[in-house]
């Protein structure tokens, strides 16, 4: 059904106006029998997606914050790889640090910015230390984006055609 409904959708690459940015989202528990959440992220340069991914998370997240944090980790790993590739190809300006990584969960952002570790986060401390390290090295800057404006949402669950069309321009998708 999805493929039939999007046959007229194209990914259009245009001249870049802006640098690398990342958007990460998660769908906590997702109603799956194993209670595992789905992560989705995409990286764009200007208004076109250049890298993206979505997958069921490997471990059960115990909170929305944790699920969103796992999605932020995956996006950050791809930011580091993509920035390295752009630099190697001579496009350093497109990958200028800090690369913004947007998330729609303020608790996850606070953990990333402040490195807050407490009883609720101690079981995923390696991931919190990873993000904290990348932030401290000035490679990324974590920012907030409201849930309704989060384009990575379409990678975590089925969405309506209206929602897909609302986020399409942010991904470089054109219908027609």
Burial of 34 (0-12, 13-18, 19+ CB in 10 A): exposed
Q: Cβ(103)–Cβ(142) under 8 Å?
A: yes
The closest alpha carbon to 129, from 75, 81, 78, 69, belongs to: 69
Q: What pTM does this model have? A: 0.87
Predicted confidence at residue 121, as pLDDT, reads 65
Mean pLDDT of the chain: 85
The residues with which 41 forms a beta bridge, in sequence order, are 24, 53
Identify the structural domains of the chain with CATH numbers, from first to last.
Answer: 1-175 (3.30.420.10)
Question: For residue 26, which phi and psi values (nearest 5 degrees)?
Answer: -140, 155
Predicted confidence at residue 1, as pLDDT, reads 40
> How many angstroms separate the CA atoms of 155 and 71, rounded?
11
Predicted confidence at residue 119, as pLDDT, reads 61
CB-facing half-sphere around the CA of 22: CA atoms within 13 A: 32
The closest alpha carbon to 39, from 59, 23, 56, 52, belongs to: 56
> How many angstroms separate the CA atoms of 115 and 82, rounded?
24
Model confidence at 120, pLDDT cuts 50, 70, 90, reads low
pLDDT of 176 over the 80 cut: no
pLDDT in tens, 29-84: 767 789 999 999 999 998 888 999 999 999 999 899 999 999 999 999 999 999 99
Please report, rounded to a whole number, the percentage of residues in the chain having pLDDT higher than 70.
88
Please report, rounded to a whole number, the percentage of residues in the chain having pLDDT higher than 90.
51
pLDDT of 131 over the 80 cut: yes
CA distance readout (Å), 118 to 18, 65, 114, 128: 37, 13, 12, 11
Query: How much is the average pLDDT of 155-161?
Result: 77
pLDDT in tens, 88-110: 999 999 999 999 999 999 999 99
């Amino acid at each position: 059904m999805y493929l039939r409904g999007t046959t007229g959708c194209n990914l259009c690459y245009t001249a870049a106006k802006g640098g690398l940015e990342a958007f990460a989202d998660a769908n906590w528990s997702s109603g799956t029998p194993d209670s595992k959440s789905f992560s989705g992220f995409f990286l764009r340069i200007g208004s076109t997606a250049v890298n993206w991914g979505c997958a069921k998370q490997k471990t059960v997240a115990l909170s929305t914050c944790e699920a969103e944090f796992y999605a932020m980790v995956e996006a950050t790993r791809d930011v580091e790889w993509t920035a390295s590739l752009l630099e190697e190809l001579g496009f350093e300006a497109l990958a200028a640090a800090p690369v913004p990584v947007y998330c729609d969960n303020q608790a996850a952002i606070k953990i990333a910015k402040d490195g807050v570790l407490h009883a609720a986060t101690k079981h995923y401390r390696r991931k919190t230390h990873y993000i904290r390290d990348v932030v401290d090295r000035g490679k990324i800057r974590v920012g907030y984006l409201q849930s309704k404006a989060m384009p990575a949402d379409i990678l975590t669950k089925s969405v309506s055609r209206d929602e897909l069309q609302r986020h399409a321009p942010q991904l470089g998708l054109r219908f027609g």
